[in-house]
């Protein structure tokens, strides 16, 4: 890596310098001083301001006909000689803390002073600074990387002050940017802004660089990260390789940082807005007429001109549906047999409590699947914090059915006659009985 090479070269050239010694000018800086003086005719004071060095240093370099590497014989009488290799390897791991290194050396038998360790570490830290500056200027080929960040500003809508968040995505090679204004930095808006950027550029780069926001990842406590599952699914869906800045090194995405500053210092200055829609419309026109058409300070070209060379290298997105429409979202069924989706909650069969299900959006309907089988369908609720429950999903429906079965009487036997069966006899029998009674 370029930063590692600069770090190694800087370490070799700076090591052994005392704190009070002047930083020696490197060859490329020496050549630039002569070029500015001989070709552009700049005076010594102007060169010193441009290169941020002392005028005495400029004057001394101009007197030298050829650049000479600073060399100082290595000291063999210092108490650190036997610990030098350990310090070079250990210093980056402890962030070049001379105090920590001094404590560790004492445990290794070092009997020298803290100031000696401090003088040894100082050039190592300076070499690391050179490497960081090289990382900021790192250039990427067409279509390889984009840098993404948020910016915030307070603007006035009519007479009301509102906090507006600006999503900025900058293509690394062309420096062409996409800008979107929102009222928050939540994950749905974050992903939607990405897809609007993809549509704007008719493609996306293979890599995206982020400054470890919570909606992307969170630390796992062991130096690694835990990816936001929805964002990870989004990146996988679009085929994006996610890159993260080193901790506390947000400046490594300097291209998008410049884009955020450009919005604040160029677009917002002197403008009035009615509402967010008006701001967004003005932002689109500004991007087309100003941002894309300006001569960029680093590339010395218009971003739109360089984009014509970068666009063929982008990953095409034409015909691929939005992640919001196609993605499946993993959810765990809560104790109330409800599944949360975009602030609303939907019921599933209560037997799935504690189970993992997937939610998919299709044509205004939510399908909830378990092991690939659809277990519930709901029309997507338009509002927020609403609940939709299908009664058959709850345990109450089962209990009610069981109660109905237990309380329903058995089928009654056929109604028996209330009088005993009567023997049917011939009428002549009764007449004979009556005649006999009359004779007695």
Domain CATH number, residue 375: 2.40.50
Which of the listed residues 136, 157, 172 is the one where a domain comes to its end?
136
pLDDT of residue 431: 61
CA atoms within 13 A on the CB side of 421: 4
Report how far residue 272's alpha carbon sits from residue 204's, in angstroms, rounded to the nearest whole number: 32
Which of 375, 393, 411 terminates a domain? The answer is 393
* The pLDDT value given to residue 406: 47
Which tens digit of pLDDT belongs to each residue from 308-319? 999 999 999 988
pLDDT digits (tens, 9 = 90+) for 346-374: 999 999 999 999 998 776 789 999 998 99
Domain identity same for 169 and 308: yes
Inside any domain, residue 9: yes
Specify whether 237 is located in the same domain as 371. no
Residues 297 and 366 in one domain: no
Quick one: pLDDT at residue 176? Answer: 96
Q: State the pLDDT at residue 403.
A: 44
411 occurs within a structural domain: no
Q: Of residues 151 and 21, which shows the higher confidence score?
A: 151
Q: Which tens digits make up the pLDDT trace of 186-197?
A: 888 899 999 999
Does residue 363 belong to any structural domain of this protein?
A: yes
Q: Strand pairing of 373-379 and 365-370?
A: antiparallel
Domain count, the chain: 3
pLDDT of residue 412: 46
pLDDT at 401 over 60: no
Model confidence at 440, pLDDT cuts 50, 70, 90, reads very low
| Structure-model confidence comparison of residues 101 and 14, the more confident one | 101
Same-domain check for residues 196 and 306: yes
For 298, phi then psi, to 5°, come to -95, -45
pLDDT of residue 77: 53
Residue 247 lies in a domain: yes
Are 33 and 91 in the same domain? yes
Q: Give the mean pLDDT of 210-231.
A: 86
Q: How confident is the model at residue 147 (pLDDT cuts 50, 70, 90)?
A: very high
Domain check: are 151 and 249 in the same one? yes
Asked whether residue 407 carries a pLDDT value surpassing 60, the answer given is no
Q: What is the mean pLDDT of residues 66-80?
A: 61
Q: Lowest-confidence range among 158-172, 196-210, 221-235, 284-298?
A: 221-235
Give the separation between CA 26 and CA 33, rounded to whole angstroms.
Answer: 11
Residues 132, 229 share a domain = no
Looking at the structure, tell me whether residues 210 and 272 fall in a common domain: yes
The domain that contains 214 carries what CATH number? 3.30.420.10
Quick one: 280 and 150 in the same domain?
yes
Q: Which helix (H) or strand (E) holds 233?
A: helix 229-238
Q: How many CB atoms lie within 10 A of CB 62?
A: 15
The answer to whether the beta carbons of residues 390 and 345 sit under 8 Å apart is: no
pLDDT, tens digit (0-9, with 9 covering 90-100), for 284-333: 999 999 999 999 988 899 999 999 999 999 999 988 888 876 677 889 99
Compare 69 and 77 and report the one with higher pLDDT.
69
Tell whether the model's pLDDT for residue 9 goes beyond 80.
no
- The mean predicted confidence, pLDDT, of the chain is 81
For residue 219, the enclosing domain spans 146-313
My answer on whether 41 and 79 are in the same domain is yes
Our measurement of the distance from residue 24's CA atom to the centroid of its chain's CA atoms, rounded to an integer in Å, reads 41
Other C-beta atoms lying within 10 Å of the C-beta of residue 71 = 9
Q: How confident is the model at residue 112 (pLDDT cuts 50, 70, 90)?
A: confident
């Amino acid at each position: 890596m370029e930063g590692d090479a600069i770090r190694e070269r800087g370490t070799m050239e700076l090591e052994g310098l005392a704190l009070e010694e002047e930083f020696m000018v490197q060859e490329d800086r020496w050549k630039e001083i002569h070029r500015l003086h001989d070709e552009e005719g700049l005076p010594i004071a102007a060169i010193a301001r441009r290169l941020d060095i002392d005028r005495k240093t400029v004057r001394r370099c101009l007197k030298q006909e050829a650049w000479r590497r600073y060399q100082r014989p290595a000291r063999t009488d210092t108490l650190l000689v036997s610990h030098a290799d350990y310090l070079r390897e250990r210093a980056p791991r402890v962030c070049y803390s001379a105090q920590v290194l001094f404590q560790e050396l004492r445990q290794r038998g070092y009997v020298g002073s803290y100031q000696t360790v401090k003088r040894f570490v100082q050039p190592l830290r300076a070499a690391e600074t050179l490497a960081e500056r090289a990382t900021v200027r790192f250039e990427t080929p067409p279509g390889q990387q984009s840098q993404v960040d948020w910016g915030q500003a307070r603007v006035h809508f009519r007479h009301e002050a509102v906090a507006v968040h600006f999503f900025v995505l900058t293509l690394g090679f062309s420096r062409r940017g996409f800008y979107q204004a929102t009222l928050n930095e939540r994950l749905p808006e974050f992903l939607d802004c990405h897809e609007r950027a993809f549509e704007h550029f008719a493609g996306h780069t293979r890599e995206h660089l982020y400054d470890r926001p919570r909606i992307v990842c969170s630390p796992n406590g062991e130096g690694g990260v835990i990816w936001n599952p929805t964002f990870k699914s989004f990146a996988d869906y679009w085929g994006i390789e996610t890159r993260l800045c080193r901790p506390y090194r947000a400046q490594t995405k300097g291209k998008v940082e410049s884009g955020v500053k450009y919005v604040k210092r160029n677009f917002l200055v002197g403008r009035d807005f009615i509402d967010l829609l008006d701001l967004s419309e003005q932002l689109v026109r500004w991007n087309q007429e100003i941002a894309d058409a300006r001569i960029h300070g680093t590339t010395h070209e218009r971003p739109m001109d360089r984009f014509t060379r970068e666009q063929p290298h982008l990953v095409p997105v034409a015909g691929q549906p939005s992640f919001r429409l196609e993605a499946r979202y993993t959810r765990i069924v809560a104790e109330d047999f409800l599944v949360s989706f975009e602030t609303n909650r939907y019921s599933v069969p209560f037997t799935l409590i504690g189970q993992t299900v997937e939610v998919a959006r299709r044509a205004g309907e939510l399908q909830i699947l378990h092991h690939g089988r659809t277990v519930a369908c709901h029309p997507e609720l338009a509002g927020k914090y609403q609940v939709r429950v299908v009664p058959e999903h709850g345990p109450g429906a089962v209990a009610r059915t069981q109660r109905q079965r237990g309380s329903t009487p058995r089928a009654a036997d056929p109604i028996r006659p209330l009088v005993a069966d009567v023997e049917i006899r011939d009428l002549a029998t009764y007449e004979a009985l009556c005649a006999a009674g009359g004779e007695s």
